[in-house]
Amino acid sequence: MEKRETIEFMNRIKSHYQEFIVDDFKIKEWHKELSKFDLEDVNQKLDEHLKSSEYGEYIPKLFFLTKYLIPSKDKGKIKKYIAKCQLCNCDIPDSEYDEHYRRCSSASTIVRDMKLYFNLTVDYQQLMLMNPIEFEKTYQRYLNKMLESDKLDMFRRKIIMRCLYPNQSTETLADMLKGISK
């Protein structure tokens, strides 16, 4: 896309997120990346972002707005097989689908549960950006945090304990659960 389109696009973000800053430096930086793609495609990504109940309240990150998009110059040349993620509704290339789906489903679960059980908002995009080690640590923290909630039913408590202590026997886990629920 052309520079004026980048500016138009950034202004579009600003109209939804007042905290989003548009200045010359940022336009230059964003244009470096956005110039590779068609305005139409990026606009569609932004629409998806705005509609999302999970991350729509956060300012979209450039990385997400262009992720999985086919650059203008490659259009028609490479044929990517695209599948729609049933969770976030994004178009994902076949080759990356499994990896995306795994992370997307864990991340959405964290976002949903933190809201439901603790009324905390978690940034879905941040979770998607983490490297695997970082995410694994965060996921463990999430599991531990879930056990603090007294709203959590026994069924989910059992599943979480199983995830946290995969090598413990069922009996040991049952004993630990008794300890937790008093």
Question: Nearest approach, Cβ of 71 to Zn ion (angstroms)?
Answer: 21
Q: Based on the shown chain and the rule CB under 5 A, indicate whether residue 88 belongs to the binding site for Zn ion.
A: yes
Question: Nearest approach, Cβ of 85 to Zn ion (angstroms)?
Answer: 3
Segment contacting Zn ion by CB under 5 A, of 66-74, 79-87, 119-127, 154-162: 79-87
Q: Count interface residues toward Zn ion (CB under 5 A).
A: 4
Read off the tokens for 17. Answer: 């997120």
Read off the tokens for 84. Answer: 């729609």
Q: Please answer whether residues 85 and 101 qualify as being in contact, where contact means their C-beta atoms are separated by less than 8 angstroms.
A: yes
Segment contacting Zn ion by CB under 5 A, of 1-9, 43-51, 81-89, 150-158: 81-89
Q: Based on the shown chain and the rule CB under 5 A, indicate whether residue 110 belongs to the binding site for Zn ion.
A: no
Q: Based on the shown chain and the rule CB under 5 A, indicate whether residue 129 belongs to the binding site for Zn ion.
A: no
Q: Based on the shown chain and the rule CB under 5 A, indicate whether residue 87 belongs to the binding site for Zn ion.
A: yes
Q: Which of 13, 104, 110, 161 binds Zn ion (CB under 5 A)?
A: 104
Q: In which element (H, E) is residue 91 found? A: strand 91-93
Q: Based on the shown chain and the rule CB under 5 A, indicate whether residue 85 belongs to the binding site for Zn ion.
A: yes
Q: Give the Å distances, CA to CA, from 3 to 48, 73, 137, 164.
A: 23, 17, 40, 50
Q: Please answer whether residues 105 and 87 qualify as being in contact, where contact means their C-beta atoms are separated by less than 8 angstroms.
A: yes
Return the number of other C-beta atoms located less than 10 Å from residue 103's C-beta. Answer: 17
Q: In which element (H, E) is residue 82 found? A: strand 82-84
Among candidate residues 120, 112, 118, the one with its CA nearest the CA of residue 54: 112
Segment contacting Zn ion by CB under 5 A, of 58-66, 97-105, 123-131, 157-165: 97-105
Segment contacting Zn ion by CB under 5 A, of 35-43, 84-92, 115-123, 134-142: 84-92
Q: Find where tokens 């499994």 sit.
A: 98
Which one, 31 or 49, has the nearer CB to Zn ion?
49
Q: In which element (H, E) is residue 41 found? A: helix 39-51
Which one, 50 or 85, has the nearer CB to Zn ion?
85
Give contact residues for Zn ion (rule: CB under 5 A). 85, 87-88, 104
